[in-house]
Amino acid sequence: MSIVLLGAGGFQGKAALYDLSQSSGMPDIIAADIHPKVVEMYIKEWSTPNQIRIASVDADDEHNLSALLDQAEFIINLLPSKYAFAVADLAVARKVNLVDSGYLVDPGTLSEPTTKAILEELNERAKKAGVTILRECGMDPGIDLLMCGEAVRELDEVQELISYGSGFPEAETSNNPLRYKISWTFEGVLKAYKRAGRYMKNGKIIEFSDTEMFSPSHTFTVNLPPFGDLEAYPNGDALAYADELGIREKVDSIGRFVLRWPGHLSF
């Protein structure tokens, strides 16, 4: 199997490349990045039982990206989110399966109905091409949504669904004013911190703008042993997932929130 890993030189890309290299049954890995020398320096630090080919890719150059994907039987996309839909579109055109850790359409850039229509159209084309696309396959979004889906399937009725995502560092290493360490794209962090959304509380839909997500009216404290008090703020449009989970008509409260060490939100 030939796997093309896009964005192999990034924080998540390096981790994915290491895991792939240590897996059995994967003889051909193409590690692609706009800075191939970064990838080359990284893989020199450890030995690998599998073959890794390093490739240069410029995701702004459709011809360059397309030529690289022609070599793939499977694509893992860890490029910045702005390239996600273009990669998915090319994957369907070339009948190549794809896993993407993020959103194919950036949340907040388009209305919910428009985003849904775009993804449904892509889904239909993927089905006709016999292609599988796994989107939002990270920790958040990804693992959290799988856990929510599993919980909903096991219950007869869901009246409230509240999820918390995190990924913050240990307290003793949170030694900066932000009390956080960036382990993914800095651009992605900034965009995630200026994002409108919705949640529902006791049957009331609450909307917030991209400048209101850290306001006291939308944030609160959660006590989580053994960590103690943590700060929570809303994470995008929770109601969109109520529709996907099939609980929109019965749920009274639904929210997706992020947890951070105290002091993060005031910063």
For the chain, the structural domain boundaries read: 2-134, 154-260
Q: Tokens 């599988």 sit at which residue?
A: 132
Instruction: State the pTM of this model.
Output: 0.78
| Mean pLDDT within 26-35 | 87
Q: Is the pLDDT of residue 6 over 90?
A: yes
pLDDT for the residue numbered 27: 66
| Residue ranges of E strands in the chain | 2-6, 28-33, 51-56, 74-77, 97-100, 133-134, 160-165, 197-201, 204-208, 220-224, 228-234, 253-260
For domain 154-260, the CATH architecture is 2-Layer Sandwich (3.30)
Contact present, 201 and 161 (Cβ < 8 Å): no
Q: Is the pLDDT of residue 50 over 80?
A: no
Q: How many Å apart are CA 165 and CA 260, to the nearest integer?
A: 9
- Residue among 236, 48, 259 at smallest CA distance from 165: 259
Contact present, 240 and 247 (Cβ < 8 Å): no
Name the pLDDT band for 52 (thresholds 50, 70, 90). Answer: confident
Q: What is the pLDDT of residues 151-181, one digit of tens each?
A: 999 999 999 999 998 888 888 888 888 899 8
* Lowest-confidence segment of 37-41, 103-107, 127-131 by average pLDDT: 103-107
Long-range Cβ contacts of 55-62 (<8 Å, 24+ apart): 55/4, 55/30, 55/31, 56/32, 57/6, 57/32, 57/33, 58/34, 59/6, 59/34, 59/83, 59/86, 59/87, 62/86, 62/90
What is the token pair recorded at 69?
């994907």
Q: Is the pLDDT of residue 49 over 60?
A: no
| Mean pLDDT within 4-19 | 91
Q: What is the pLDDT of residues 196-252, one digit of tens each?
A: 899 999 999 999 999 999 999 999 999 999 999 999 999 988 998 888 898 988 899
Q: Which phi and psi angles does 67 have, rounded to 5°? A: -65, -35
Q: Tokens 């994967």 sit at which residue?
A: 26
The superfamily CATH assigns to domain 2-134 is NAD(P)-binding Rossmann-like Domain (3.40.50.720)
Q: Which phi and psi angles does 97 have, rounded to 5°? A: -70, 150
pLDDT for the residue numbered 220: 96
